[in-house]
Amino acid sequence: MNRIWVGFCLLFIPQLAFATTITPGSPLPLTHSTIGYASLILFCIAYALVMLEEYLHLRKSKPVLLAAGLIWAMIGYVYQQHDNVEIARAALEHNLLEYAELLLFLLVAMTYISAMEERRLFDALQAWMVGKGFNFKTLFWLTGILAFFISPIADNLTTALLMCAVVLKVGGNNIKFVNLACINIVLAANAGGAFSPFGDITTLMVWQAGHVTFMQFMDLFIPSVINYVIPAVIISWFLPTEKPDALYEQVELKRGARRIVALFIFTVATAVSFHALFHFPPVIGMMMGLGYLQFFGYFLRKTLASSLAKKAAIAMAKKDEAALKRLGSVVPFDVFRRISHAEWDTLLFFYGVVMCVGGLSLLGYLGMVSEVMYTQWNPIWANIALGGISAIVDNIPVMFAVLSMDPSMSLGNWLLITLTAGVGGSLLSIGSAAGVALMGAAHGKYTFIGHLKWTPVIMLGYIASIAVHLLLNQALFS
């Protein structure tokens, strides 16, 4: 107990916490200090709470937000004692700018996805799949393939939740099918998100950092396909053979749904153009795209009355009482209401991770890791190992740590870490946002143990995708 109190007191005596020569104007050497060890322990405790989110019912943003504040408070105190606070402040502002760019980018993307959801675009897609009367095997492949191709645009988390809703609606009573279909969806969503800057936060981070251009992500398309197809084929052999009972539901798209999709595609093109033509951060183009949506929302509100009058006249002529009832419940489209529906827990969790990892970087720990993994090891093996780590630790801190280390790597290796960090999370259900979300959505049917049984099969796809990338993109490693 006395040792604990001594360690606690040392936090407030920074001059005694380390004894190393300090160079004016350079970061303080704190890796072997009490402050450094305390920061590491704080981050580990916070991340342990994140991993136990499903069991504690504690939102993952809370522990990392608290840990980030405490870590930077300790750093600020030490630097102030050494009259070197400008260095800590510059590092803090750098991390805040990194986060702000990604926050605004993700906020616009989430707003568009929320707007599409409000206009019932995803409901219509879900109703179409349910109403076709597919058997379990067909539904397994259909949800997987759609997840693979939707996630590069709508991000892997949103896509996984959409496909899971279909699976639960069609095969909700068949626990075996739901478990296997959810594993398949997680695989497909993570693999599909790996070859697009919009597919995952990690790919977006690599793109915004300028290490990989928008079109160069397509070099990961075939490895991503391999990563998904190999385990999916094996899992499909164990699906139930019967045909599910499903009720068809008619879903009518709300006015402007297709035009919002077109505006989102135009927004993506705007973001890519700003990055490619002017070398500006893509977030500038995304924020301009939010302006497109706001103007379109203004148009929808101004023309709502005349649109309702026309539809009411048609419904009265047809004596369609159900249609008249629906028209009576129509509310104006509100962009800011869509913004409020963004995944704020995810965005705040991302802030906490960025600031925690940024603090550990200033303390010198990322430099130590980089020295070992990217100097003493071959970068290929380092990137493969980090992909495996992302199955346990969320891929966001893994990728942000790599970007903070900023090792000197070839394009092939930057694509490799993008691939492994993206698909490595599929090895365990807790390794990706998609897996964690589906454990909540299909509670008791898709579980950690249910996923773990298939980890060896998923590992085959992981290894094969890396091998294919090394073979096909060999020239990019030079």
Which tops the pLDDT comparison, 313 or 420? 420
Q: What is the pLDDT of residues 437-478, one digit of tens each?
A: 787 778 778 888 889 899 999 999 999 999 999 999 999 987
Cα–Cα distances in angstroms (integers) from residue 346 to residues 328, 350, 389, 455, in the given order: 35, 6, 20, 26
Residues 257 and 80 sit within 8 Å (Cβ to Cβ): no
Half-sphere exposure of 273 (CA within 13 A, CB side): 10
Angle between helices 85-118 and 61-81 (to 10 degrees): 160
Closest CA to 365 of 32, 26, 66, 82: 32
Count the Cβ atoms, other than its own, within 10 Å of residue 245.
9
| Residue partners of 369: CB distance under 8 A and separation at least 6 | 401, 405
The mean pLDDT of the chain is: 83
Closest CA to 117 of 162, 164, 167, 168: 162
User: pLDDT value at position 397?
Assistant: 77
CA atoms 96, 97, 100, 101: torsion sign: negative
User: pLDDT value at position 316?
Assistant: 62
User: Which residue's structure tokens are 């879903």?
Assistant: 251
47-61, 83-97, 103-117, 326-340: least confident range: 326-340
Whether the pLDDT of residue 331 is over 80: the answer is no
Closest CA to 275 of 286, 264, 265, 266: 286
Whether the pLDDT of residue 434 is over 90: the answer is no
